Amino acid sequence: MKKIFIVTGEPSGDKLASTVISKLKQVNSEVKYSCVGGHHLESLGIKSIYNLNEITYIGFTSVLLNIFKIRNRINKTVEEVIKFNPDILFSVDSPDFTLRVAERVKKINNNSKTIHYVAPQVWIWRENRVKKFKKFVDHMLLLFNFEKKYFDKEDILNTFVGHPLLEDNMKSKIDLSSLIDKDKKIISIFPGSRDSEINVLLPILSDFIILMNEKSDNYFFIFHATDKNKETLVNFLKNSSLKNFQVISDENIKTQILSKSVFAVAKSGTISLEICNASVPSIIIYKINMINYLIMKSLVKVKFANIINIINKKEIIPELLQNECNAKEIYNSVNYLLSHPNLLKTQLNEIDKTLKNIKLETSSSQKVATILSEYL
């Protein structure tokens, strides 16, 4: 029986991997799996060798403070991969973890093919990393077509596969009347998946909603959670004065809620593409400690945080980062945009043009699954 070991480093990678593996399982059920993953891969019957939370750290200082734990988990992962002896080591995103594992595995077992999904963002920082990848990555799978030139330059086999979060994954429709008041307009809130993000952003978002409620009672706020952090969100919000909110973790319900939203406020990250794909206007927010921010600012080569803005080299989706990430600024930005429908329309038109250039006509997760099957 053929074997695949999947290595992810955070919840978004777990979700990306699961979309691919679910497709692969449909055409090839005779594959044995093991992984470092989360609840998305677990829902497919693939058990992780340890809890994904043990390696999910954000920011340079957090990584440094936990460096020995991370090294221990890298060692453990390499050991388990070697023991499993897979035909494919399928590494997904989080290159500072997943590709460290891949590099060490390749030195011990050159027979396993390393296929890395979500190319490291060398166009943002540390471009010289590409030369190193050639030694241990057999096939690099790219989310964006503009990335090809970086890997072609070093003769690394690569394929533009598109972004699976731009696929339409809507399943059967669910009656949402028990969750939301049909007379209210929905604003979707995405506070992040990591505890470190939620602890910073949740108080800010709560204060933002209070300001919105002072102006209007027309809105209902849906917090998009994961199964893991739903309880944290619920416990915090139920102790606030807020009444017009709901916390949802079911993926299908979240997709339908987003499609019915008039606006979204989201933590910077891959979720922004899902929001764009749903044709919902938005702003993005983010805040990390000042040391991490200054280090990051000194290293990155791009002006923006959001991929839509990066591609267009201008701000299409407003970014409220660091000091601007506060309740008053978020309120001002959201209220201003909602008061100017022409600006919302312009944002959505610009996004639509951008997505047409980075979307594939075929399913991107299906394309990745096909590539994996070719190596089996």
Q: For residue range 247-272, what is the model confidence (pLDDT) as tens digits?
A: 999 888 999 999 999 999 999 988 89
Q: What is the pLDDT of residue 375?
A: 95
Residue 219's domain is classified under what CATH number? 3.40.50.2000
Does residue 62 sit in the same domain as residue 207?
Answer: no
Does residue 99 sit in the same domain as residue 113?
Answer: yes
Q: What is the pLDDT of residue 299?
A: 59
Residue 176 counted as domain residue: no
Q: Which two tokens stand for residue 295?
A: 């280090």
Answer whether 0.95 is exceeded by the pTM.
Answer: no
What does the alpha-carbon distance between residue 11 and residue 57 come to, in Å, rounded to a whole number? 11
Residue 167 counted as domain residue: no
Residue 173 counted as domain residue: no
What does the alpha-carbon distance between residue 368 and residue 139 come to, in Å, rounded to a whole number? 11
Q: What is the pLDDT of residue 170?
A: 55
Contact (Cβ atoms closer than 8 angstroms) between residue 206 and residue 240: yes
What does the alpha-carbon distance between residue 117 and residue 4 come to, in Å, rounded to a whole number? 14
Give the range of the structural domain holding residue 17, as residue numbers without chain letter: 2-162+360-374
Q: Is 285 helix (H, G, I), strand (E, B) or coil?
A: strand
Selection from 335, 288, 279 nearest residue 192 by Cα = 288
Does residue 146 sit in the same domain as residue 88?
Answer: yes
Q: For residue range 34-49, what is the model confidence (pLDDT) as tens digits?
A: 999 999 999 999 999 9
Task: Residue 110: count other Cβ atoms within 10 Å of its Cβ.
Answer: 10
346 Cβ contact partners less than 8 Å away, ≥ 6 residues apart: none
Q: What is the pLDDT of residue 300?
A: 65
Q: Which two tokens stand for residue 172?
A: 């059967």
Q: What is the pLDDT of residue 59?
A: 47
Q: Which two tokens stand for residue 367?
A: 């394309």
Does residue 348 sit in the same domain as residue 206?
Answer: yes
What does the alpha-carbon distance between residue 185 and residue 217 come to, in Å, rounded to a whole number? 9
Instruction: Give the H/E segment covering residue 84.
Output: helix 67-84
Residue 350 counted as domain residue: yes
Q: What is the pLDDT along the chain (376 residues), one digit of tens a residue?
A: 999 999 999 888 998 999 999 999 999 989 999 999 999 999 999 999 999 887 765 444 454 556 667 788 899 999 999 999 999 999 999 898 999 999 999 999 999 999 999 998 776 556 678 889 999 999 999 998 889 999 999 999 999 998 877 876 555 566 676 677 778 999 999 999 878 789 999 999 999 999 999 999 999 999 999 888 899 999 999 888 888 999 999 888 999 999 999 999 999 988 899 999 999 999 999 987 666 666 566 656 667 888 899 999 999 999 999 899 999 999 999 999 999 999 999 999 999 999 988 887 788 899 999 999 999 9
Does residue 239 sit in the same domain as residue 326?
Answer: yes
- The overall longest dimension of the chain from CA atoms, in Å, is 63
For residue 272, the one-letter residue type is S
Does residue 352 sit in the same domain as residue 364?
Answer: no
Instruction: Give the H/E segment covering residue 68.
Output: helix 67-84
Residue 254 counted as domain residue: yes
DSSP secondary structure letters along 239-270: TSS--SEEEE--HHHHHHHHHTEEEEEEESST
Q: Considering its fold, how many domains does the chain have in total?
A: 2
Task: Residue 17: count other Cβ atoms within 10 Å of its Cβ.
Answer: 30
What does the alpha-carbon distance between residue 161 and residue 137 come to, in Å, rounded to a whole number? 16
Question: SS3 breakdown of the chain: % helix, strand, coil, rounded to 5?
Answer: 50, 15, 35
Q: What is the pLDDT of residue 71?
A: 86
Torsion, Cα 294 298 300 306, to 10 degrees, reads 30
Does residue 100 sit in the same domain as residue 117?
Answer: yes
Q: What is the pLDDT of residue 60?
A: 45
